[in-house]
Structure 1
Amino acid sequence: MPLFSSAALRSSVVSRLRAAGCVFAEDEARILLTAATTTAELATMVRTRAEGRPLEHVVGWAEFAGLRIAVDPGVFVPRRRSEFLAASAAARLTGRPGELVVDLCCGSGALGAAVAATAGHPVELYAADLDPVAVRCARRNLAGTGARVFRGDLFAALPDELRGRVDVLIANVPYVPTGDIELLPPEARLHEARPALDGGADGLDVLRRVAAEAPRWLAAGGALLFETSERQSADALAVARAAGLTADARREEELDATVVVARRG
């Protein structure tokens, strides 16, 4: 019999999580009961989650695009809506072996891992982030892909020999306006690194930097893909087009996800 198969124990965990305001208490209880190996560890996990720490930080991983992604405390938790960005990036691949993919602002490396897993052929994968904790996570999550993971500020982290060769550039840049940070759920606001969230006054500061440099890194016909909010999409498209890229926005209602695909001619 599994260690935590008791219906009474499961009900107790669900009740504790509901009392703490966890909307998906039943699903979270299932994950906690599966992740814990001792009653003491379970008690600690339940208490920590009830105190507001993200579930993914409590158990040390997140489910993303069918993968289990390691997520250390403080690291940006990959959102389910970003699965649309990963799928859109994978759809840009043509099947040519060795296509070059870059996951910029990679965080845990979830997007690069998802693209590598679904590509159906070998890709040359690079990833970069400014946060050293996120970089350590990404190296673990991308270990089986042959990816090279760098720490640094946007394109400055990448080898110069990639200039003009990138077929798919994924940049899940922070896009929350600074003034809206305090409106985020406490799981994000208090427990994720602020640079992974804060996109500046209008939420587009980091995107402007990425878009301005992207044409020098993309191969002919290559594309920059990034996530934005529906209300920011028109301004985000304008940023990409001002950089000389041909851009359009795509929407996935079920995931509440908006992705911009910006192509170099």
Structure 2
Amino acid sequence: MDTCDEENAIWETVVRKLRAAGCVFAEEEARLLLSASRSTAELAERVDRRAAGVPLEHIVGWVEFSGLRIELDPGVFIPRYRTEFLVRQAAALMQPGDIVVDLCCGSGAVGAALAAMRGRIELHAVDIDPAAVRCARRNIRLADGLVYEGDLYDPLPDELCGRVNVLIANAPYVPTESIRLMPPEARMHEARIALDGGPDGLGVQRRIAAGASRWLAVGGCLLIETSRMQAPWTAELLARSGLLPQWVHSEEHDANVIIGRRTECAGQVG
């Protein structure tokens, strides 16, 4: 058997095992696992983990997001395709030199993507999960952004108050009782703190909205990813916080983003 035949035989074996485990995209996953493995022993170990339900992105250590390869460690929230819509909406509002803050940044995928698209921005990213912060610092390093560990606005420097042009938040918005209905890959292998939005799914969004006007510049915008069902409630949260809300939706991405603009008359909210 020549090398090509041997590689095909290995690939077919991997595909069969992944299909048997219920992997919908077995062929694509097999190719990725083969290319990412340095030995047959490492390949076998990775295939076993994938067949056991470990997310492919955690096994290979990266995910493609907005054209970038975002590094991921086990347990860190995996950026979703729909969040690329959030990135595009934010990028459309940004100008060179803008101050951009990414709350609940996770792996730093959103901030890294915005820096790659727009460049020359002052980027600050925050997450409460130490594992996510470690990832974000690797992914954002090329953008010369700063990554802070802490709870929402708490670790941000005071000098940013009233100066932030774009504030982005892909905060957890799954209602607590709905987490059990999520795919096993998410509920078993991603940090719960990155999923759980409280009883109504709006707990973290509520806190973000309440503090936004203190940090946003006049004319600055807060963008929050949410679900279609929760979008009206998210918009109301922003309106109650003195922001002018707009709901934008993408059928292609199955994504919903609420954009809240701080106007001249918006008051500073704690």
The equivalent of 1:75 in structure 2 is: 76
Q: Secondary structure at the match of 1:27?
A: helix
Pairing partner for 1:241 from 219, 239, 242: 239
Task: Describe the superposition over 1:93-140 as per-residue Cα deviations: whole angstroms up to 9, x where unpaired.
Answer: 13xx32101111000000000000001x40000001000010000000
Q: Secondary structure at the match of 2:22?
A: coil
**Does the alignment pair 1:123 with 2:121?**
yes
**Does the alignment pair 1:211 with 2:212?**
no
How far has the Cα of 1:255 moved from its partner? 1.2
Of stretches 11-20 and 205-214 in structure 1, the one that deviates more from structure 2 is 11-20
1:76, 1:196 within 8 Å by CA — same for their partners in 2? yes
The size of the alignment, in residue pairs, is 262
1:171, 1:226 within 8 Å by CA — same for their partners in 2? yes
- Counterpart CA distance in 1 for 2:14 and 2:124 is 41
Give the residue type in structure 1 aligned to 2:31. Answer: R
The equivalent of 2:46 in structure 1 is: 45
Q: Secondary structure at the match of 1:46?
A: helix
How far has the Cα of 1:146 moved from its partner? 0.7
TM-score by length of 2: 0.94
How far has the Cα of 1:77 moved from its partner? 0.5
How far has the Cα of 1:4 moved from its partner? 9.7
How far has the Cα of 1:142 moved from its partner? 0.5
Task: Describe the superposition over 1:198-225 as per-residue Cα deviations: whole angstroms up to 9, x where unpaired.
Answer: 0011100000000000000001111011
- Counterpart CA distance in 1 for 2:3 and 2:122 is 42
Q: Secondary structure at the match of 1:86?
A: helix
Task: Describe the superposition over 1:222-243 as per-residue Cα deviations: whole angstroms up to 9, x where unpaired.
Answer: 1011110111111111111111
How far has the Cα of 1:73 moved from its partner? 0.4
The 5 Å alignment of 1:172-251 reads 172-251=170-249
The 5 Å alignment of 1:1-265 reads 6-94=7-95, 97-119=96-118, 121-265=119-263
Q: Secondary structure at the match of 2:231?
A: helix
How far has the Cα of 1:2 moved from its partner? 8.4
- Counterpart CA distance in 2 for 1:253 and 1:164 is 34
Structure 2 portions without partners, runs of 5+: 264-270
- Counterpart CA distance in 2 for 1:19 and 1:251 is 36
Give the residue type in structure 1 aligned to 2:59. Answer: V
Q: Secondary structure at the match of 1:223?
A: strand
How far has the Cα of 1:3 moved from its partner? 8.8
Give the residue type in structure 1 aligned to 2:50. Answer: R
How far has the Cα of 1:10 moved from its partner? 1.3
- Counterpart CA distance in 1 for 2:6 and 2:218 is 56
TM-score by length of 1: 0.96
Q: Secondary structure at the match of 1:10?
A: helix
Q: Secondary structure at the match of 2:38?
A: coil
- Counterpart CA distance in 1 for 2:21 and 2:164 is 46
1:4, 1:33 within 8 Å by CA — same for their partners in 2? no
Distance 1:46-1:164 versus aligned 2 partners, 3 A rule: same
How far has the Cα of 1:5 moved from its partner? 7.3
Q: Secondary structure at the match of 1:80?
A: coil
Q: Secondary structure at the match of 2:100?
A: strand
- Counterpart CA distance in 1 for 2:6 and 2:247 is 46
- Counterpart CA distance in 2 for 1:2 and 1:211 is 58
How far has the Cα of 1:183 moved from its partner? 0.3
Of stretches 18-27 and 5-14 in structure 1, the one that deviates more from structure 2 is 5-14
Q: Secondary structure at the match of 1:227?
A: strand
Task: Describe the superposition over 1:13-49 as per-residue Cα deviations: whole angstroms up to 9, x where unpaired.
Answer: 1111111111111121121111111111111110001
- Counterpart CA distance in 2 for 1:90 and 1:145 is 15
